[in-house]
Amino acid sequence: MSEPGKPMSATPARSGAPAPAVSPAAARARQGARAAPVTPRRIVIMKLVVFVAALYPLGRLVFFGLSNRLGANPIEFITRSTGLWTLVFLCITLAVTPLRRLTGRTELVRLRRMLGLYAFFYGLLHFTTYFWFDQWFDVHAIYKDVLKRPFITVGFGAFVLLIPLAATSFQAAVRKLGRRWQTLHRAIYAIAILAILHFWWMKAGKHDLELPKIYATIVTVLLGFRLVWAVIARRKVALAKAAGPLKR
Q: How far is the CB of 214 from ligand HEM (least distance, A)?
A: 11
Q: Which residues make Cβ contacts (< 8 Å) with residue 65, sequence separation at least 6?
A: 74
| Rounded-to-10 torsion of CA 119, 120, 125, 128 | 150
- The only residue of 80, 110, 185, 226 in contact with ligand HEM, by rule CB under 6 A: 80
Interface with ligand HEM (CB under 6 A), residue from 46, 50, 84, 216: 84
Q: Is 93 in the site for ligand HEM (CB under 6 A)?
A: no
85: nearest Cα among 137, 141, 127, 113? 127
Does residue 86 touch ligand HEM according to CB under 6 A? yes
User: Can you tell me which of 47, 50, 76, 187 binds ligand HEM, judged by CB under 6 A?
Assistant: 76
Separation between Cα atoms, residue 122 and residue 141, nearest integer Å: 23
Within 110-129, the residues that bind ligand HEM by CB under 6 A are 123, 126-127
Which of 54, 87, 125, 188 lies at the binding interface for ligand HEM (CB under 6 A)?
A: 87
Distance between CA 183 and CA 177 in Å, rounded? 10
How far apart, in whole angstroms, are the C-alpha atoms of residue 50 and residue 47? 5
Please give the Cα distance from 51 to 199 (Å, whole number). 26
Size of the residue set binding ligand HEM (CB under 6 A) = 23
Residues that bind ligand HEM (CB under 6 A): 76, 79-80, 83-84, 86-87, 90, 123, 126-127, 130, 152, 155-156, 158-159, 162, 191, 195, 198-199, 202
